[in-house]
Structure 1
Amino acid sequence: MADRVRFDGWILGLGTTSGTRLVVGHWPRSPLGAVSDVMVERPDGHRVLLAATPELAEFVADTYSFDEVRVVDVQVGRVAGHWVVDAEPLALRVRVGRRPALGWLLRTVPSPLARTPAWVGLLDPVARLAMGVRTRGSAGNGRTEWYGVQDLHALRSASATWDGADLGGLADVRPPVRFGFGSVPPTPSVVRVTTTIALSTAV
Structure 2
Amino acid sequence: MGIAHSLRGRLVRGRAVHTRFRFEGWIAGIGTSSGTRVVVGRWARSPFGPFSDVMLERRDGHRVLLAPSGRTADFIAGTYAFDEVRVMPVTVRVTGRDWTVVTPSLGLWLTTGRRGPVGLLLRAVPGPLAAHPAWAALVDRPARMLLGAGTHGSAGAGRYEWYGARDLHPVTSCGAVYEGENLGRLAPVEPPVRFGFGSTPRTPCVVCVTTTVSLGAGPRGDVRP
**TM-score, L = length of structure 1:** 0.98
DSSP 3-state at the match of 1:145: strand
Q: Which amino acid aligns with 2:150?
A: R
Aligned match of 2:71: 55
2:173 to 157, 164, 179: 157
Question: Which whole-Å CA distance do the structure 1 matches of 2:148 and 2:175 have between them?
Answer: 26
DSSP 3-state at the match of 2:139: helix
Question: Which whole-Å CA distance do the structure 1 matches of 2:73 and 2:197 have between them?
Answer: 18
Aligned: 1:135 with 2:164? no
Aligned: 1:28 with 2:50? no
Aligned match of 1:73: 89
Q: Which amino acid aligns with 2:49?
A: G
How far did 1:181 drift? 0.2
Alignment of 1:1-203 (within 5 A): 3-201=19-217, 203=221
DSSP 3-state at the match of 1:27: strand
Question: Which whole-Å CA distance do the structure 1 matches of 2:217 and 2:138 have between them?
Answer: 19
1:156-178 alpha-carbon deviations (Å, 9 max, x no partner): 10000011221101000000000
Q: Which amino acid aligns with 1:132?
A: G
How far did 1:4 drift? 0.5
Q: CA RMSD in A?
A: 1.0
Question: Which whole-Å CA distance do the structure 2 matches of 1:156 and 1:33 have between them?
Answer: 30
How far did 1:201 drift? 3.2
Instruction: Give structure 2 stretches of 5+ with no counterpart.
Output: 8-18
How far did 1:128 drift? 1.5
How far did 1:126 drift? 1.1
Q: Which amino acid aligns with 2:156?
A: G
Question: Which whole-Å CA distance do the structure 1 matches of 2:142 and 2:111 have between them?
Answer: 28
DSSP 3-state at the match of 2:49: coil
Moved over 3 A (4+): none
Question: Which whole-Å CA distance do the structure 2 matches of 1:105 and 1:188 have between them?
Answer: 18
Q: Which amino acid aligns with 2:52?
A: S
Q: Which amino acid aligns with 1:94?
A: L
Instruction: Give structure 1 stretches of 5+ with no counterpart.
Output: none
Instruction: Flag the structure with larger Rg.
Output: 2
1:54-87 alpha-carbon deviations (Å, 9 max, x no partner): 1000000000000000001000000021000002
How far did 1:133 drift? 1.1
How far did 1:140 drift? 0.3
DSSP 3-state at the match of 1:149: strand
Q: Which amino acid aligns with 2:145?
A: L
